[in-house]
Amino acid sequence: MSIRTCRFTILFLVLLVAAPLCRAEVRLPKIFGNNMVLQRDLPLHFWGWASPGEEVKVMMGVKTVSVKSNAQGKWSCVLPATPAGGPYEAVISGTNRIELKNILIGDVWICGGQSNMQWRLDQTPYEEKDSVLLKRGNIRLFTVPFEMDYQPREDVKGNGWQTLSPQTIREFSAVAYHFGKYLYEQLDVPVGLVSDNLGATAAEAWMSNEALLQFPEFASLIQPVVKHGKSFEALTADFEKNKAVWFKKYYYKSAGVKGEWFKPETNVADWKPINASGNTWENEPDLKDHDGEVWFRTTFDLPENYHDENFNIALSQIDDYDMAWVNGVKIGETYGKHNHRNYSVPTRTLKPKGNVLVVRVFDIGGIGGFTTSPFWGSKIMLGTWLYKKGEAIDAAKFPKVEMPNATPFSSPGVLYNGSIAPLTAFPIKGAIWYQGETNVDRAYEYRELFPALIRDWRKHWNQGDFPFLFVQLANYMDEAKEPGESHWAELREAQALTLSLPNTGMACAIDIGEAQDIHPRNKLDVGKRLGLAAMKVAYGKSVVASGPTFKTLHVEGEHLILSYDNIGSGLLSKDKYGYLRGFQVAGADKKFYWAQARIVDGKVEVVCDKVKQPIAVRYAWDNNPGPLDLYNAEGLPALPFRTDTFKGSTEGQVFVEGPRF
């Protein structure tokens, strides 16, 4: 055999052996797994990834379908709609074989919003004592860890579907759990709850780029993101390619870097004191017009008896770039003023006392420094730091970094792209939503924003007007001593107006909040009230799903006569004397006064001795209107309302955020 033939034979054998290794295994999105719930009475949609052109077979029960992946390695198929039942097993096979077990067919609900939806069961007084439910209840739980991106992602993260147990429910959304339990008890069908939420987040963070473009206040931010089409991963990869050159030519050209001011032994005799956190450096006379670098330094001790493997240093948001060192060792760097800085330091590298933290902050224009409250960072942020002014730049000429620059709490679109978009191919029954606290200062904007979010989700799920149920904000803060304007009342009004959309329902929580806690612990009644809304909106049951809702106003001299819808078996007062608190009345001067009210012949009669010619009435119109008495006989509270259209306190307030890059 010639040398040439021998080489060819060896090459052929190598390729033959390597070929199977080069093929991608069949892979499923994280939302698929053991113990999952698939939506009943809708086609069962399976999708995933494989090698381009690979044949993938999906079998579930007696149903089988085969499909080939496309040129990008993506595949998708549907099995026929199936009624509620189970458990089933599914097999997805190609070059490899995936077996999914203990699958149920039932109703799947997305559970979205901010902290009051995220609030865990173990953070409430409720303890599940129904051992039969925990052992046999066909309720399954899936938690989506939040992810951000500028472009829609294809998959979420997650630890799989979980069955009920005291351990799994304790860290799950309390509202979602109580909602799911109510549905299961009423319907006796499997329920899948997908908890996809994050505290302190604004509605716009959960909307698609496409939906946000219709709003001028968001379009200027979203258009560049859509135009360049780059994800977080792509932006980071591009930066890493050019990072060394940019560092050398621009970012590291400073006396502080050359002088290694990050070292603990640095002479700080000429450094000045400053309260760094929440204090932009423009408040310091010698930094007022400074763009470029400023070095900050502080010391910290480890907590007593600290034994964790790592120590977290949260510096929150910094305008614009930063690098951080502890005891002379670099612990991290971040680019972009919206990003939250969280640096993890191995505890073994720290001393019990006297650790030196140095942060080089680099401002590329506008304000600079540690821009957010210490509340969002570690205790290290508190107290007096030292600072030294470093190299100055011409902000107009300095080359800026294109890197992910977003906060999950308010950056438009990023949570939708990272945490919602990957799920929109997964059929659902509907969604429940508890959010709005972050948007209260822009309540009038919410009138358009919230309905747009609902339409947006419905469009991308492509299931028509699926049921969308939401919680009206609870009472919060000190009780009102006198009538006045209220951001929270205006947000509740925006939520109520959203009921004009088809297949929507609202659970009122105006009577179960807590004055001193934005996170009321009573999630049981919230879940039940959402469940009642679901019975009516999603399942067509003849139930009273809402408290009394204002219908008409009739003026008779000094008296205002109010009629209501949703009175169920009748109006009632929970006050032992029959009084109704929470009403206020105004005349032509638009000044409101507390009023007296009572139920008369199935209607509410309101009068105020300070207003002889009333033209408007409001009810429960405040951040916290205090104790309220008006309910229907089914025990649901009357909804807040106003009859006037006077100018609101949040009218004209819209979103404002700086550039993405």
pLDDT in tens, 546-594: 999 999 999 999 999 999 999 999 999 999 999 999 999 999 999 999 9
Share of the chain above pLDDT 90, in %: 91
* Residue closest to 474 by CA, chosen among 424, 529, 420: 529
Number of structural domains the chain divides into? 2
- What whole-number distance in Å separates Cα of residue 109 and Cα of residue 423? 12
In degrees, rounded to 5, the angle at the alpha carbon of residue 628 between the alpha carbons of residues 625 and 630 is 135
316 falls within a domain: yes
Q: What is the pLDDT of residue 135?
A: 86
- What pLDDT, in 10s, does the model give residues 441-480? 999 999 999 999 999 999 999 999 999 999 999 999 999 8
Assess whether the previous peptide bond of 320 is cis (omega < 30° from 0). yes
Domain that residue 349 falls in: 235-392
- What pLDDT, in 10s, does the model give residues 152-167? 999 999 999 999 999 9
12 pLDDT higher than 50: no
564 falls within a domain: yes
How large is the average pLDDT for residues 244-258? 94
DSSP 3-state percent helix, strand, coil across the chain (nearest 5): 25, 30, 45
- What whole-number distance in Å separates Cα of residue 112 and Cα of residue 415? 11
Please, are residues 90 and 100 in contact by the beta-carbon 8 Å criterion? yes
- What pLDDT, in 10s, does the model give residues 55-91? 999 999 989 999 999 999 999 999 999 999 999 999 9
More confident residue, 375 or 348: 348
17 pLDDT higher than 50: no
How large is the average pLDDT for residues 652-657? 92
361 pLDDT higher than 70: yes
520 falls within a domain: no
pTM for the model stands at: 0.93
Strand order across the 310-319 sheet: 340-346, 310-319, 369-370
Domain boundary among 367, 392, 417: 392
Q: What is the pLDDT of residue 16?
A: 44
Can you point out the beta strands (E) in 283-380? 292-300, 310-319, 321-326, 329-335, 340-346, 355-363, 369-370
Domain boundary among 392, 421, 451: 392
How large is the average pLDDT for residues 394-417? 95
Q: What is the pLDDT of residue 372?
A: 81
128 falls within a domain: no
597 falls within a domain: yes
End-to-end CA distance of the chain: 63
Q: Which of 22-26, 239-243, 603-607 has the lowest mean pLDDT?
A: 22-26
104 falls within a domain: no
86 falls within a domain: no
Domain boundary among 357, 392, 427: 392
Q: What is the pLDDT of residue 20?
A: 44
125 pLDDT higher than 70: yes
Q: Could you give the 3-state DSSP secondary structure of residue 322?
A: strand
141 falls within a domain: no
* Residue closest to 484 by CA, chosen among 605, 642, 654, 655: 642
How large is the average pLDDT for residues 1-23? 47
Average pLDDT along the chain: 95
Residue 312's domain is classified under what CATH number? 2.60.120.260
Q: What is the pLDDT of residue 216?
A: 96
How large is the average pLDDT for residues 497-521? 99
Q: What is the pLDDT of residue 8?
A: 47
Q: How confident is the model at residue 18 (pLDDT cuts 50, 70, 90)?
A: very low
Q: How confident is the model at residue 279 (pLDDT cuts 50, 70, 90)?
A: confident
625 pLDDT higher than 50: yes
